[in-house]
Each structure stands twice: as C-alpha cells, then as structure tokens.
A and B are shown apart, each in its own frame.
Chain A
Amino acid sequence: MRVASLVPRYGLRVFKDELRTRAGMLVLGLGLFLIMLPLPIKNQFFINALFVTFLYAIMTLAWAIACGQAGMLSFGHSAFFGIAAYTTMVLLHQKVTPWLGIPAGALLAGLFGFALGLLFARLRSHWFALATLVLNDIFRLIFENWEEVGGMRGLEMPYYLVVGEPSLYWLNFTHPRPFYYLALGITGLELLMIYLLTKSKMGYYLKAIREDEEAAKSVGINITLYKGFALGLSAFFMGLAGGLYTIRYGYIDPGAVFNMMRISIYPAIAGLLGGVYSLVGPVVGCFIFIPIAEYTRAYIGSWLGARFYGIHLVFFGIILLLVSLKMPEGIMGFLEKAGYIRPLLSTTVGGSGGGGGERKSPPER
C-alpha cells in the first residue's frame, strides 16, 4: 500500500476506523449515487442545476474553512473567486490548458488569501467581516478599469475554443455532464482535505483560535500565521470554484465574478444554514439553499411584477433569521446536538473516531 503510506499516520488510522462504521458506508454509498445520478437524466437543465449546486458546494466548503474552522466570518470571498477566474481565463488565452490554469488561479488566490489573513489577523469577528465586505467592490472596480483584461466588457473564451470540438485537454464540452463530474470531484477532494485538516495539528490550532484568541496565544499558537493559513486554504478552494466557473461558462466579467451577493453572500447563507461546524453541513446547506435561491429569484419576482424586483432577498433574510434564532449551528449542527445524527462527521467535537473514547455525557449548550 504505497499510497496509504503517504497519508499521515493519524489520517490513515482515522480512515480505517471510519470506513468500518455505518457513516463510512453511507458516505461511500452516497458518493456512488452521486456519480450515477446524471446518467439517466436526459434534461440538461437538471444536470446543469446539479453542477451549479456542487459549484456552490465547493465555494461554501471553502468559505466554511475560514468561518467554521478558524472563526473568520468573511463576506468578501468573491475576491478569491474572481482572481482565480481571471487567472484561468488569461492563461487560456495564452494557450495554457485549464488543467494547469485552474490550479494556477487557485494558487494565486490562495497566496492572496494567505497575505490577507496575515494582514487582517488583528481584526476580530465583525471587524473582520466588515473589512472583507469591502473587497467585493475594490476588486470589481479594479477589474472594471483594467482594460488589459477586458475592463467592463470582461473576457470571453478564445474563439477557436468556442467553435472547436469538445476536448478533454481544453475542458471544452457542450454537455454539462463532464462539468458536473469535475465539480463533484473537486467537492470530494475538498471534503477529504477538510477532514484531514480537522485531524491535524493545524485543525486543532484553528479551532483554538476560533474559540478564544487570547487562550490560543497562551498555549503557544501564532494566531497571525495560522489565520493566514486558514484564509489561504479557504481562498485556494474558492479559487478552484472560480476556475471551474470560467471554463463552464466561457465568459467572465467583473460584475459576475466579483459579485457580492451571488459569490460572497450565497455561500455564507448556505454555510450558516447547513452548519459550518459540521463537515458536510455546507454541502447540505447548498442543496437546500441554492435551489430555493434560484427559484425565488426567478419566479417570486415575476409573480409580483417588476416593482418587487429583489423581493427574494427578503426570503434570504427570513431564512437567516430563522436559522440564527432556532438553530445557530445550522441544520447539521442542530441534528447532531439533538442526537439524530452521531457527530461522526462533525469538525467540532473529537467524537469522530480519533480514539478519544466514547462520550461520557451528552454535549450541552
């Protein structure tokens, strides 16, 4: 088992433990189901809807690395999404395959996230949130005025790709199914990474920082550095989503990729709804929120007429209000606390087969 030996010791052990459990089988079964899912579906619209949901799952999981693990509530993740989207597109024009372009974009976004994490490390909770909120507009304005990358008009995929044959090398497909698999694959990879992260030293450190920064310092944690790591990792995965968006739609402009509502806030709502402390919470949140969001945006507005454009935002407000009042740790957090689901996939409590033994008493609060 050469591959297995590459996995850190703790990771491997935890894995074996978890695969034996029912939750492990459940994850495996669900994975297979999701792989088979688009095969019988003829309607491309539905496959695309699934793709969009998983695209948001990537973004929401990424966002939740910062918020759920390190307690960094960000409303400016579109910056990372957009940086990677533009990088991927510019590289595409330089005849670089998206197989390299997407990781390159994500890496650039990750480095930027790391630097920003260091810079904003002193800002706590709402101050950090406010600082990140501004990023949406800063980056949109920069790219709207940056003529070399298309300015307001944005950038389109090179013409020879638009008219070209479907190609795996260029990730150029007309059917949404391959994109669905890409999104699913990245989501799976991301879940795995987050899972390993929570079992690692860094996972413990981020949780300590989230819970109490002063106490974290007192146990020897360099909170500035680790906040950088957290935001960097979060930005990297957000960047992967940005790159995927670019090759799926073949056209980007500043208003779309640096969109505060649809790129920065949607993942935040979906994440809080699903539960940021649970491993799968953000994905669950996306499967509930994204369909509702798209439906209300498309239909509620038109029922009531143009005068009520934006009424869907009221629904988002109601959802957020209910979640924060009734289940502040999201749907998955609620289910785990209430005992409906063993918090096996929780990233909060070490009940997840790490060898800590069974819990003596039910968790409180």
Chain B
Amino acid sequence: MSERVLLSGRGLVKAFGGLVAVNNVSFDLYEGEILGLIGPNGAGKTTLFNLLTGFLKPDAGKVFFRGKDITRLPAHARARLGLARTFQLVKPFLKLTVLENVMTAALAKTGDVEEARERALKALEFIGMYDVRDRLASSLTLVDRKRMELARALALEPKVLLLDELIAGLNPKEVDEMLDLLREIHAKGITLFIIEHVMRAVMGICQRILVMHYGRLIAQGTPEEVANDPKVIEAYLGGVL
C-alpha cells in the first residue's frame, strides 16, 4: 500500500436544521487501500459521502483530492476527476437499457458515442452483465441494478470508488459474489471507500475502518482494533455493557 493520500476531509461539518449530521470529521484515504465506514443508523455516513462527492456542500471544512482543494467543485466535475460513487438507494436510469446506462458514464471519458459503447461493453463484460446489456434497467432485479450501478461507476475510470451500502439487501450468495467483484476492482488499482452494515463483509474486505456515531468520528484502525474498541462497542450496543 502506498502512503500517498488520495482523498481527505478536514473538519467537515454539515447540519440539517438543528441536527448536526456530520460534526468536525477529518480523515485520510490512502491510495490503493480499502477503507470501511461503519456506524449505527443515522450516524452521518451517507452525509459524509455526499460531502465528499459534492452532492452536498459542507457548512465548514474542506475536501482534498490528490492534494487539491475540491470543496467548491460541483458533483459532476468531481466525478470527472475520478471520484465515482454508487447510491444507497440505487438510481438506475430506468427507461434506458443496461448498456445505455453504462454508456452515459463512459461518455465522460470520450465524446465519441461508438467508443463510449465499446468502453461500456468492456465494463459490462468485467462485471458479468454483458448478456443482459440490451435489457431495460427497469426489468433488472435489485442485485443486478446494484451491479449495473457499479459498472456505471467503473465506466468513469475512477481513481476512487465510494460505495454506499452496496451489499445491503443481498442474499449470502450474492454478498460473496459482490465481495469477489470488489476484490477484483481493487486489484485493478482502484481505491475503495465503502459504507457497509454487513459486518462479515466489512471485516473481511477492509484494511482500515472508520467508525461514526452521532456525526462524529469515534474510532479508526484495523478491523481488529475497531472491533475491540470500547467506544465502538458502546455505540453499537448502548452504554449498559
């Protein structure tokens, strides 16, 4: 793992009315690692992702990507820089085919429609959806929608992929397949930053984990360190234990 910082947040704050969803969060994401982000429901994980990808503007703090301040950059520009994401609630382009869905992303890398088609087909082949390329996205099952969204994000040829609960809602077999896929993506040199509730998945795949609770970053470290951290146990199981 190289020690180069790819993406970092410094003192990020985001409040919705009286609720501080993200409260003074600072972290570094290193190039080539798989970083996990966990925390109880409502901890502010998705909000943090939205701040990093430009879907929300922070009230305070800064976001850096490869050393450059991108805090004021709009979401589409960040996507073009190499900061791709998937959504917790999948957002397929329902009336387009699988291929067209992925092509919209490939078009960010080339203005030529034919070339974008080739690149999209490659991404679909990689993800194992080549055979269903001409089906409408609306006819896909949840797991296929998630995989398509992954292919769409990959077609952006990102440096880092932010995955928001990609595995949630899948059955055990699908979880294993998805984890294998993530390892393959990681092997291609793409840095992963994942929000996940399925502990088996997080602990199995992540090299480092951040834990959020009530908007604050309460712990970070290797899976073992985090799992044994009293603050983390308290956050998940309540203060009684």
Contact = CB atoms under 8 A, between A and B. Distances in A.
Contacts of B54: 217
A361 B139 contact: yes
B10 interface: no
List 8 tightest A-B contacts by C-beta distance, closest first.
A220-B108, A211-B93, A215-B91, A219-B105, A220-B79, A217-B75, A364-B139, A220-B80
Interface string A198-217: 01110011011011101111
A352 to B, nearest CB: 11
B194 to A, nearest CB: 16
Interface of A: 9-10, 13, 199-201, 204-205, 207-208, 210-212, 214-223, 277, 348-351, 354-361, 363-365
B67 to A, nearest CB: 21
Given A200-B113, A205-B107, A350-B97, A363 B76 contact: no
A304 B63 CA distance: 69
Contact of B79 (A218, A351, A361): A218
A365 B95 CA distance: 9
Interface residues of B, number: 44
A356 B99 contact: yes
Contacts, number: 130
B7 to A, nearest CB: 16
Contacts of A204: 100, 103-104, 107, 113, 116
A349 B225 CA distance: 50
Contacts of A217: 54-55, 74-76, 79
A277 B95 contact: yes
Given A219-B156, A221-B108, 8 more contacts: A10-B112, A201-B116, A212-B91, A217-B79, A218-B79, A218-B87, A222-B74, A360-B134
B30 to A, nearest CB: 23
A220 B113 CA distance: 15
B96 interface: yes
A128 B187 CA distance: 45
Given A208-B93, A212-B93, A10 B105 contact: no
B104 A216 contact: yes
A351 B97 CA distance: 9
B132 interface: yes
B96 A207 contact: yes
Nearest to B89: A214
Nearest to A199: B113
Contact of A219 (B94, B97, B104, B138): B104
Contacts of A207: 93, 95-96, 100, 104
Nearest to B103: A204
B135 interface: yes
Contacts of A356: 97, 99-100, 117, 133-134
Interface string B137-161: 0110000000000001101100000
A363 B94 CA distance: 11
A210 to B, nearest CB: 8
Contact of B131 (A223, A349, A360): A360
Contacts of A10: 112-114
A118 to B, nearest CB: 13
B105 to A, nearest CB: 4
Contacts of A214: 55, 87, 91
Contacts of A277: 95
Interface of B: 53-55, 74-77, 79-80, 84-85, 87, 91-97, 99-100, 103-105, 107-108, 111-114, 116-117, 131-136, 138-139, 152-153, 155-156
A358 B99 CA distance: 12
Nearest to A226: B76
A211 B134 contact: no
A212 B80 CA distance: 18
Given A199-B113, A348-B96, A219 B108 contact: yes
A363 B132 CA distance: 12
A301 B90 CA distance: 51
Contacts of B136: 349, 363-365
Contacts of B94: 211-212, 365
Nearest to B99: A356
Contacts of A205: 104, 107
B218 to A, nearest CB: 29
Contacts of B134: 350-351, 356-360
Contacts of A220: 76-77, 79-80, 105, 108, 156
A300 B152 CA distance: 54
B118 to A, nearest CB: 10
Nearest to B90: A215
A221 B76 contact: yes
A364 B138 contact: yes
A183 B156 CA distance: 43
B214 to A, nearest CB: 26
A201 B135 contact: no
A221 B153 CA distance: 13
A202 to B, nearest CB: 9
Contact of B100 (A201, A216, A223, A350): A350
A357 B152 CA distance: 20
Given A208-B93, A350-B99, A355-B117, A360 B79 contact: no
B93 A360 contact: no
